[in-house]
Amino acid sequence: MSTDPEASQVQEPDQPDQPDQPDHGAPIQENGSAPSWSVAFITTFTTVFLAELGDKTQLAALLLSAQSGKPGVVFLGASLALICSSLVGVLLGRWLARLMPPQQLERLAGILMVALGLWLGRQAVVALAPASLPLT
């Protein structure tokens, strides 16, 4: 038996020096770790790709390509625009992740999407309604 007091102490796992510091917006999975690079990349690619199929941006690129006869130039312009708008979203998302927990951010995004849907729906009803109806 050892009489060394340090040998009998239970070793605790290393704790971060400052546990109250934010992790710069890194999302945490249920197991307590951040997602891997490949998981984040595949999830982002799939989500954005499916969300962009058939939307106004894709239809605009289709029409611009047909009208201009320069599909390569339209592709480059549309790609650059999507990259820039995605950068704005990423930077804004990172900043917001430092200010609020992920659940609150998801709730805020959901409320914003519902509000935008209601506003756009109202705009469509007003545009399609006969002039005799007092909708405005």
Tell whether pTM > 0.85.
no
- Block residue for tokens 């047909």: 66
Band of pLDDT at residue 52, cut at 50, 70 and 90? confident
Angstrom distance (rounded) from CA 7 to CA 3: 8
What the block records as the tokens of 55 is 């939307």
Band of pLDDT at residue 18, cut at 50, 70 and 90? very low
- State what percent of residues in the chain have pLDDT above 70: 72
Q: What is the pLDDT of residue 31?
A: 61
What the block records as the tokens of 128 is 């399609």
